Amino acid sequence: MKILITGGAGFIGSHVVRLFVNKYPDYQIFNLDKLTYAGNLANLADIEEKENYQFLKGDIVDADWLDEIFTTYKFDAVVHLAAESHVDRSITDPLAFVQTNVIGTVNLLNTARKHWKENLQDHLFYHISTDEVYGSLGEDGLFTEETAYDPRSPYSASKASSDHFVRAYYHTYGLHVKVSNCSNNYGPNHFPEKLIPLAIHNIKNEKPVPVYGKGENIRDWLYVLDHARAIDVIFHEGKVGDTYNIGGINEWRNIDLIELLCDVMDEKLGREKGQSRQLITFVKDRAGHDLRYAIDSSKLVNELGWKPSVTFEEGLAKTVDWYLQNSEWLDNVTSGNYQSYYEQQYVNR
Ligand code: NAD
Ligand code: DAU
């Protein structure tokens, strides 16, 4: 089987690529990535020489190029993760999110449909999405697969739009699709613009840790490898045309999470207990900041037998250890060195 994974140089995508390359030596895995600021081939250094792995640098907004690679490689399936993924960036530049998340996804759908139309049933388009499409919860309740869409940021609006297009191609053209909507991921290789890696970076360097508003917003955190495991299960065993919610059953108020992280890091860095909490700095809130996300993943658990494999305490400890042991990775992505390297390395595209 030839599988095209988009966004494979990013945070979640790199874990999905590694899992598929190592677990399925008979599959040929193609990693399509534009290498934006968030894409980093260093995330995959350990598998780049594997025979069943190939990197394709390019942009999903470029429909002609997509047509070329589908013609050349004849993919059997697509696992689509490429996206602009940061809510704060979507507030300053919504159009970039429309380009990649909406236009890019529709380009991929069109290309898949064109190349697969003779035997749709033998192909699969698996779209990776987010719980943010469901909007913001109050104190009670969980997002289920039936919750009505209510996106409230340009990012979640663009992801909601892409989800609708994917389902429209299933109903209208018979393209075989699956969709999953996951809660907040954390773990190794997370770009340090997002809360947990940003806080780890700042605590390590004794810089202020910015907490938006009063830190009362709630997120449901899942270890990234458990998301990759869920994607594997849904890809192979999920029902065509269905949606699966993926969550950590692990809700944290931002302020409680950051205090826990400070304490974990104090211990690991040999600092006095409570020292890093002094770095916590309350800053201006995010515009339109969703209060609470929480996922009901019982469909995935009951129908496909998936469940998270690590507790939050274990996952957080592993994550902090990874960042402390990989300071070169962190220094590179925060300095922008790797961006200029890739600009020189890939002058042709
Ligand atoms: P990320 O920002 O770390 O990685 C995105 C990747 O997509 C990068 O490698 C980037 O170079 C690539 N990319 C961006 N624009 C592209 C384009 N036009 N063409 C080709 N490649 C392009 O994102 P992530 O956090 O790994 O998220 C991956 C997917 O999972 C996204 O679709 C996101 O919406 C979804 N998701 C993320 C989370 C989370 O907590 N991070 C949770 C649920 C769902
Ligand atoms: O729920 C899934 C989504 O989770 C994914 O679809 C997105 O791609 C991913 O970025 C993430 O979105 P969030 O906005 O929830 O993640 P972020 O890490 O940006 O913020 C987490 C919470 O922490 C949120 O309530 C905002 C807050 N925050 C964030 C940053 C960067 C802070 O308080 N301070 C910060 O500096």
Whether the predicted pLDDT of 349 surpasses 70: no
pLDDT at position 347, please?
62
Atom of ligand 1 nearest to the CA of 82: 7
Digit-coded pLDDT (tens) for 22-72:
999 999 999 999 999 999 999 999 999 999 999 999 999 999 999 999 999
Best probe residue, ligand 2, of 130, 159, 194, 285 (max atoms within 8 Å of C-beta) = 194
Digit-coded pLDDT (tens) for 320-334:
999 999 999 999 998
Digit-coded pLDDT (tens) for 272-293:
999 999 999 999 999 999 999 9
Residue identifier of the C-alpha nearest atom 29 of ligand 2: 195
Q: How many helices (H) and strands (E) does the chain have?
A: 13, 12
Note if the pTM is more than 0.85: yes
53 CA from centroid of ligand 1 (Å)? 19
Residue identifier of the C-alpha nearest atom 3 of ligand 2: 184
Helix, coil or strand: residue 71 = helix
Q: Determine contact, residues 243/177, Cβ cutoff 8 Å.
A: no
Digit-coded pLDDT (tens) for 151-167:
999 999 999 999 999 99
Atom of ligand 1 nearest to the CA of 59: 19
pLDDT at position 342, please?
72
Nearest C-alpha neighbor of 129 from the set 295, 286, 289:
295
Ligand nearest 55 Cα, by number?
1
Beta bridge mates, 218: 253, 292
65 CA from centroid of ligand 2 (Å)? 32
Ligand nearest 98 Cα, by number?
1
- Of all residues in the chain, what percent carry a pLDDT higher than 70? 99
User: Which domains are present in the chain?
Assistant: 2-187+222-249+289-310+337-347 (3.40.50.720)
Whether the predicted pLDDT of 343 surpasses 80: no
Q: Determine contact, residues 38/67, Cβ cutoff 8 Å.
A: no
**Residues with a CB atom less than 6 Å from ligand 1:** 6-7, 9-13, 33-36, 38-39, 59-61, 81-85, 100, 104, 128-130, 159, 182, 184-185, 191
323 CA from centroid of ligand 2 (Å)? 18
pLDDT at position 346, please?
66
162 CA from centroid of ligand 1 (Å)? 13
340: pLDDT confidence band, cut at 50, 70 and 90? confident
Ligand nearest 152 Cα, by number?
2
Average pLDDT, whole number, for the chain?
96
Residue identifier of the C-alpha nearest atom 7 of ligand 2: 85
Q: Determine contact, residues 20/29, Cβ cutoff 8 Å.
A: yes
79 CA from centroid of ligand 1 (Å)? 12
Catalytic residue set: 131-132, 155
pLDDT, greater one: 342 or 175: 175
| 319 burial type by CB count under 10 A (0-12 exposed, 13-18 middle, 19+ buried) | buried
Rounded-to-integer distance, Cα 214 and Cα 272, Å: 25
**Residues with a CB atom less than 6 Å from ligand 2:** 85-87, 130-132, 183-184, 194-195, 198, 210-212, 217, 219, 254, 286, 293
The average pLDDT across 129-146 equals 97
pLDDT at position 338, please?
72
**CB neighbours of residue 255 within 10 Å:** 16
Whether the predicted pLDDT of 348 surpasses 70: no
Ligand nearest 84 Cα, by number?
1
- Of all residues in the chain, what percent carry a pLDDT higher than 90? 94
270 CA from centroid of ligand 2 (Å)? 28
